[in-house]
Chains A and B, each alone.
Chain A
Amino acid sequence: MFSWLSDLIDRFIDWVHYRTGIKDIVKEQITEYRVPPKLNKWYSLGGLSLFIFGLQLVTGVLLLAYYVPSTESAFSSIQRIMLEIPYGWLVRLSHAAGSHMMIIIILLHMVSVIFMGSYKKPREMTWLSGCALILLTLAICFTGYLLPWSQLSYWATTVATSIPEPIPVIGPFLVKLVRGGDHINPDTLNRFFALHVIVIPAVMLALVGFHLFLVRVLGISGSPDSKPEDQE
């Protein structure tokens, strides 16, 4: 019925293949990629967190279309997104719910890696880059929480940024460094905004790339269910 469409798609793919070798890449990396036997659903969590990360990038860019990072307008721009812009509530709440889901799924991913022993030699660097990624995820959630500039986010950030205060000698210095002053002030909003929308996401993208590169180079670690001879 749609054979003309299939033909068109095939011809396009052939055109791209001739110039990039895409079919071989897809065959080696996806359709005929060899994985260890007896993979279970815990193996899906890494891919799932990547999917949510992508969703956060998309909804985050959409929010940037209306959010204004200044102490005068931040809150009213959020109100506008929630009340006036069509589907604004969906975009913003997806971004908020996605941040929670990302933490939960990454934690489950870590737990499965620990219990299946997948962090062991030679996969230490994959594990360490994953550890850096969860810290960055927490940091991006933390910096994002201040951006609505509501009472809740103001005081939550006040409390959280005062955590390093009791550290001897450098504590008060650290607090001042994070806040850009003695208290949360307009400069704090600006630096959190910069961290939230460009610095942390850029570093995370690079680390995700490195993490996935290592997974491909070293192969997927076998499931503890599989017998030793399966591993060969």
Chain B
Amino acid sequence: MSDDLKSEVVNTGTNRRRFLQWTLGGLLFGGFVVAANVVLRYLMPTPPRLEKADEVAIPVSQIPPGSSLMLKHQGSPVLAVHTDQGISAFSAVCTHLGCLVKWMPGEKIFYCPCHAGKFDSTGQVVAGPPPEPLHPVKFEIVDDNIIFL
């Protein structure tokens, strides 16, 4: 073997070691970047669910006396009803196991189809398994518009 060839063999060996070192280092660095991204995004504060622009406002005329309206407010279902006592609004989520209740205009009750829970027009439980009244939703009436808060 000539001297030339020998030194080349040695060189190849050194380069392989360097290649592996850089590859390993690169992989570790890549893994670190991915993990740092997860941690940073986890620690960043998340924006609040509802921006001002998402405010729900509907004209009173959309709920004539005796009728009801299901709408989405802050990402959850809300049921507004117009009874003899005026307009009221509740979260439509049943306080038992979370099904959606609906307004029965004939009986003037909220009825939950899942386990036959019944609530009167003020949200109080009148029958069935629900452990507590429907949760009321606050609203204001401004210029014949219902604005949910």
Contacts and interface: CB of A to CB of B under 8 A. Distances in A.
B41 A86 contact: yes
A90 B41 CA distance: 12
A86 B22 contact: no
Contacts of A91: 38, 42
A87 B41 contact: yes
Contacts of B38: 87, 90-91
Nearest to A66: B42
Interface residues of A, number: 10
Contacts of A62: 39, 42-43
Chain B, interface size: which category?
Answer: under 10
A62 B36 CA distance: 12
B44 interface: yes
A128 B90 CA distance: 61
Interface in B38-53: 38-39, 41-44, 46
Interface string B15-47: 000000010000000000000001101111010
B84 to A, nearest CB: 37
A84 interface: yes
B128 to A, nearest CB: 21
B46 A65 contact: no
Contacts of B39: 62
A2 interface: yes
Nearest to A65: B43
Interface of A: 2, 62, 65, 84-88, 90-91
Given A62-B39, A87-B38, A88-B42, 8 more contacts: A62-B42, A62-B43, A65-B42, A85-B46, A86-B44, A87-B42, A91-B38, A91-B42
